[in-house]
Structure 1
Amino acid sequence: MPPPNFHEHIQADTSDEDSLNDADSIADSNLSFISTVRDYVYENGRRYHAYRYGQYPIPNDEEEQDRLAITHHLFKLLIGGDLYRTPLNQQLSPPKRILDIGTGTGTWALEMAEEFPNAEIVGTDLSPIQPNFSPPNCTFIIDDAESDWAFTKDEAFDYIHARSMGGGIADWGRLLRQAYNHLKPGGWIEFQEYDARINSDDGTHIKAPVLLDLIKTLDEASKKFGKRVSIASSLAGWLEEAGYTSVTSDVYKCPVGSWPKSPRLKEIGRVGKVSLIEAIEPYSLALFTRVLGWTYERAQEYVDKCRQEVMNSSCHIYVPFYYVYAQRPLDDSRV
């Protein structure tokens, strides 16, 4: 597992950059799962969840499921193929109950079920886009993480995981307290989030003014919506405030494009570029039209301009990815 690289200066490869015009073919190669429920809402050409409609502004259609597959691959690539940073393998015994909040297509939960065959894995989400069939130790529940959780005291978890929840949670303090109360003493929680900002080590990010404006506009719209997108850097502090201990924040630079000299970072950058291109529309479309009052045409034109800047190989930009994990104190017996 590679160590966090946020303080490492990434050297740029000055040779011709590999072409990434086949982004669509990469996305199309990922499997999307068949939903068990078809009660959806359609808006601006995208499909959204109907259960508690409007609470989460990201689509759940096949295109989004393909994007989630790419994102899952990217989160693993950054940490050497692992599913988590929490030191689960250093515990006296492996986890017996694992909860995946906002499980999406359920890929992370399914892979954890393979890694921990003796553990019970539970995934929750607003959208029923998980597979019809899963291993006997993996189940999926349609639920809102912001509501009261239905698990009893006897159903406490050894490990709780959540990924890409930025933009979907209104009251983080409440979520962290509720997670705390559903963890066993000594249990762990981990959040994996990408920060909604771009930067560079050589100042070339200033060549992407529309992308910089996108970050500002997304932050403005998500705050008005009541569920801020850019929260990754705040997670460690919130966990400490909620009473967790052993709080650790591992930050990785994710290059956007194959400009790094490092072969490993070059490969990550190729995937990172596709991931960013595919994320711009789902993160911005509903917020800009519902919250800021933009027309669909204006929002789509803006999305296209952002994507064009991502394709500029002279911008050596990266996105910070946060893996933040913490523990409920072992001597804490509160419920």
Structure 2
Amino acid sequence: MPPPNFHEQIQVDTSDEDSLYDVDSVADSSLSFASTVRDYYYENGRRYHAYRYGQYPIPNDEEEQDRLNITHHLFKLLTGGDLYRTPLAQQSAPRRILDIGTGTGAWALEMAEEFPEAEIVGTDLSPIQPSFSPPNCTFIIDDAESDWAFPKDESFDYIHARSMGGGIADWERLFRQAYNHLKPGGWIECQEFEAEIHSDDGTEEMAPMLLDLGRKLDEASRKFGKRMSIASSLSGWIEGTGFTNVTEDIYKCPVGSWPKSPRLKEIGRVSKVAVIEAIEPYSLALLTRVLGWTYERAQDYVNKCRREALNSSCHIYVLYYFVYAQRPL
């Protein structure tokens, strides 16, 4: 498992591989996955969940499902293929696992394969998970911000949440519920990325639209009541809930194939696709519903940001946080 690389400066490859790409060719490289969506609402040419409509500002259509699966692949690339950072191997295998905001269910399905004796439960607002799943994996349509209905005799050994930034109003309440539904000694893990860019050489200043996008998303998501850039706050909230052994692993995820390292170069290729594909779904609802922009203005802004993400002279990266902690025995 590759260790966190937060304190390392990524060396730059001076070749210009990224110049071979354009927005359309990167978008077309997305893989297609089957969907079983049943509840939806259309807005700005995208499809959103109908159950508790408006609670989550990101679409649930097939295009978004493709993006989620690309992002799932990216998280695994960062950890060298592992689905989690929590030291589950150092204790008895978990028997019950909860995946909050399971999305397409990719993480839950792979955990069901890795832990065939465990019961995996995935919850989400959208019914976009596969119709057929292993017998030890169940998907439930539920709102993680509501009171959890799991009885006390069905506590979990491990609770996982990923990419929930922008979808939770009260994180401390969420962590209290997680604490109360974990067995003593059980673990929680949150995997999140920041909605802003960085660089080690100042070249992020060559991407003013992407810098502005980070500020716009933060402004709009705060007004919406569910802030998007919360990754750096997770460890404090978790520790404040009463969890112990709180660990924060931070990875620099390059955007583009500019790193010299072959491993980081491959991560950067996938990350470029993930970033370009994320700009529209993360932006449209917040810009139009919250900031009052027209669809035309928002779409023009999105297109400019996507074009800027292709600039191979910008040695930018996004910080990915893996935060895990244990309920005391």
Normalising by structure 1, we get a TM-score of 0.96
- Gaps of at least 5 residues in structure 1 are 331-335
Residue 25 of structure 1 pairs with residue 24 of structure 2:
no
Query: How far apart in 1 are the matches of 2:277 and 2:126?
Result: 20
Matches within 5 A, 1:201-280: 201-280=200-279
Matches within 5 A, 1:64-213: 64-91=64-91, 93-213=92-212
Query: How far apart in 1 are the matches of 2:235 and 2:323?
Result: 6
- Aligned residue for 1:186, secondary structure, equals strand
Letter in 2 for 1:42: Y
Query: How far apart in 2 are the matches of 1:210 and 1:24?
Result: 19
- Aligned residue for 2:102, secondary structure, equals coil
Give the superposition deviation at 1:36. 5.0
Query: How far apart in 1 are the matches of 2:32 and 2:204?
Result: 33
| 1:34 aligned residue | 35
| Deviation per residue, 1:67-106 (Å, 9 max, x gap) | 0010000000001011000000111x10000000000000
Query: How far apart in 2 are the matches of 1:234 and 1:316?
Result: 25
Distance 1:36 1:280, change over 3 A: closer
- Aligned residue for 2:41, secondary structure, equals strand
| Deviation per residue, 1:152-175 (Å, 9 max, x gap) | 000000000000000000001100
Distance 1:274 1:13, change over 3 A: same
Letter in 2 for 1:69: N
Give the superposition deviation at 1:235. 0.2
Q: Any conservation in 2 of the 1:33–1:105 contact (CA below 8 Å)?
A: no
- Aligned residue for 1:169, secondary structure, equals coil
Give the superposition deviation at 1:24. 2.4
Query: How far apart in 1 are the matches of 2:307 and 2:160?
Result: 34
Query: How far apart in 1 are the matches of 2:205 and 2:141?
Result: 42
Q: Any conservation in 2 of the 1:36–1:132 contact (CA below 8 Å)?
A: no
| Deviation per residue, 1:33-92 (Å, 9 max, x gap) | 32152x31000000000000000000000000000010000000001011000000111x
Query: How far apart in 2 are the matches of 1:132 and 1:36?
Result: 10
Query: How far apart in 1 are the matches of 2:99 and 2:318?
Result: 24
- Aligned residue for 1:166, secondary structure, equals coil
| Deviation per residue, 1:198-232 (Å, 9 max, x gap) | 11011000000111010001000000000000000
Query: How far apart in 2 are the matches of 1:244 and 1:158?
Result: 14
Which of 12-21 and 315-324 deviates more? 12-21
Give the superposition deviation at 1:197. 1.2
| Deviation per residue, 1:257-305 (Å, 9 max, x gap) | 0000000000000001010000000001000000000000000000001
Question: What RMSD in Å do the two structures reach over aligned CA positions?
Answer: 0.8
Give the superposition deviation at 1:16. 2.2
Residue 9 of structure 1 pairs with residue 34 of structure 2:
no
Query: How far apart in 1 are the matches of 2:118 and 2:204?
Result: 44
Query: How far apart in 1 are the matches of 2:55 and 2:33?
Result: 23
| 1:62 aligned residue | 62
Identical positions, percent: 80
| 2:293 aligned residue | 294
Aligned length: 326
